[in-house]
Structure 1
Amino acid sequence: MAPEAWLAVVRTAQEALTNAHKHAPDAQVMMDLRCAQDWCELEVRDTGGTSGESTGNGYGLVGMRERAELIGGTLDAGPVDEGFRVRLRVPA
């Protein structure tokens, strides 16, 4: 994997885990990394929570998405079931 793709994976994992801790500190968090010959996908999802801060400027998600797009990747993030998911896909 190219260094910039690896950096995007690491930074996205850090930011997604920080967001989960901040917005849903009581939630369980799962992280999966799947790689194939041409791509690598990181998925971070939590089970949601009722405590934690709900405020924020939203720049974390914007920054993750911009980092992905700069290297030809994609990032989607949003509510799923009772939690939240961040999914990054970058070229390998």
Structure 2
Amino acid sequence: MTSIRSSVHDLHDDSIALKPAVEDCIRPLKDRFAVSCDYDFSERMSRDVKLCFIGVIKEALSNTAKHSDGDSIKIIIREHPALYQLSIADNGSCPEKIDESGIGLANMRERAASLNGNINITSGSKGFRIFLSVPKQNLTERRS
């Protein structure tokens, strides 16, 4: 029974394809921004991480579309032996101090915290940047 549950769980995790989901998120922005994506991760990434990354990417791209005066966006998704990383950056100029009162940034922080991850959000003359890391160890412990 444990083996069957594990197999079903793995199938469900695999049902979310991260790369096509990201491509769907960026498609509406391609007329206004040059968007580049760098992917380096295995398909064994957990469903929770995939959903977290998709949610953060959607929110970041929505904010960029609304507020950025830049013309390019770079998304990087990497898997390392001990953690997963997501980086999103645009080349627009924005205030050094970010308005933290919006629900979007709070949602990103909550998504990161739900996986014991760290998120760093910065802004300034070189653009808006989000850097998110999620340790793999915590994901393993959450499933036990």
Pairwise TM-score range, normalised by the shorter structure? 0.7 to 0.9
Tell me the secondary structure at the aligned position of residue 128 of structure 2. strand
Partner of 1:86: 130
Q: Is the 8 A contact 2:70 2:90 kept in 1?
A: no
Aligned partner (choices 48, 59, 76) of residue 103 of structure 2: 59
1:73 matched to 2:117: yes
Counterpart Cα distance in 1 of 2:83 and 2:64: 25
Q: Is the 8 A contact 2:93 2:124 kept in 1?
A: no
Report how many residues are paired.
Answer: 88
Aligned partner (choices 67, 71, 76) of residue 32 of structure 1: 76
Q: Is the 8 A contact 2:93 2:125 kept in 1?
A: no
* C-alpha deviation, 1:78, in angstroms: 1.4
* C-alpha deviation, 1:87, in angstroms: 1.1
| Greater Rg over alpha carbons, structure | 2
Counterpart Cα distance in 1 of 2:100 and 2:65: 13
Q: Is the 8 A contact 1:79 1:85 kept in 2?
A: yes
Alignment root-mean-square deviation, CA: 2.1
Tell me the secondary structure at the aligned position of residue 17 of structure 1. helix
Partner of 2:53: 9
Residue 122 of structure 2 aligns with an amino acid whose one-letter code is G
List alignment gaps of at least 5 residues for structure 2: 1-44, 137-144
* C-alpha deviation, 1:27, in angstroms: 2.6
Counterpart Cα distance in 1 of 2:59 and 2:128: 13
* C-alpha deviation, 1:56, in angstroms: 8.9
* C-alpha deviation, 1:35, in angstroms: 1.0
Extract structure 1 runs of 4+ deviating beyond 3 A.
none
* C-alpha deviation, 1:48, in angstroms: 0.7
**Distance verdict in 2 for CA 1:47–1:26, change over 3 Å:** closer
Residue 10 of structure 1 aligns with an amino acid whose one-letter code is I
Query: CA offsets per residue over residues 6-49 of structure 1, 9 Å max, x none?
Result: 11011111111111111015431111111112211110000015
How much identity, in percent, do the aligned residues show?
A: 31
Tell me the secondary structure at the aligned position of residue 83 of structure 1. coil
Q: TM-score, normalised by structure 2?
A: 0.54
List alignment gaps of at least 5 residues for structure 1: none
Q: Is the 8 A contact 1:72 1:91 kept in 2?
A: yes
